[in-house]
Amino acid sequence: MAANWKMYKTRAQARAFVEGFLPRLTARDVDVVICPPFLAIETVVGLVGGHPVAVGAQDVYWEEEGAFTGEVSPAMLVEAGCHYVIVGHSERRQLFGETDAEVARKLRAALGHGLVPILCVGETLEEREGGRTEDVVGRQLELALADLPAPAGQVVVAYEPVWAIGTGRNAEPADAAGVADFIRGVLARYLGGERASRIRVLYGGSVKPANIGGFAARPEIDGALVGGASLDPASFAAIVAAFSEPGGA
């Protein structure tokens, strides 16, 4: 269960969130990741120590160092305490022109430093209405995973239909589960069936406490990448709890 705070929360606000969230976190059988803005990463890391919560970044650059103004390297994220990093989020692709090739480079750079990339894939409304969901998602996965070394490390895949992000609309659980099943088939083709079976596939797109139950009930979906609803500690705690097994607290 990953929280993507996007460009929200100062360090003081991040502290207030964590202090409000941890007492509400009763599930111990769910992996929880918080991805704050870069400047709040160390604040969150310092507060979640000893709790079943990992910290991730929202983006990364593929170079080790150099004259790349405004970018952050994988080594910098590791030193700050990150274990995860989001790559290829639709907002990076749509707003900042990030290409599939660049996403692939970021994925490899993250893996090369022991970070777990949360690889985001998903189609636009136009692509969905044109019946091209599998073509688009398949291409994004193939370009990211092609020639990935066999012992490359752990990867998480998040299916986030672009048309459902921040719009209040969400995919129906059955539709999201169908795409998750398709994703696992592509993963098996590139990484082998055994390795693909261990990769978690998340759903993201206007996830909230009111609708998370339908996604949690689908065995094809292993968790969620949560945007706006992760900004409130009570809301995010309720979403995490939906994926907890009975007796898992």
The catalytic residues are: 89, 160
> DSSP string covering 114-158, please?
T-EEEEEE---HHHHHTT-HHHHHHHHHHHHHTT--TT----EEE
- How far CA 33 is from CA of 14, 44, 148, 193, 216, in Å, comes to 14, 11, 24, 26, 17
Number of helices followed by number of strands (H, E) in the chain? 11, 8
Residue type, 48: V
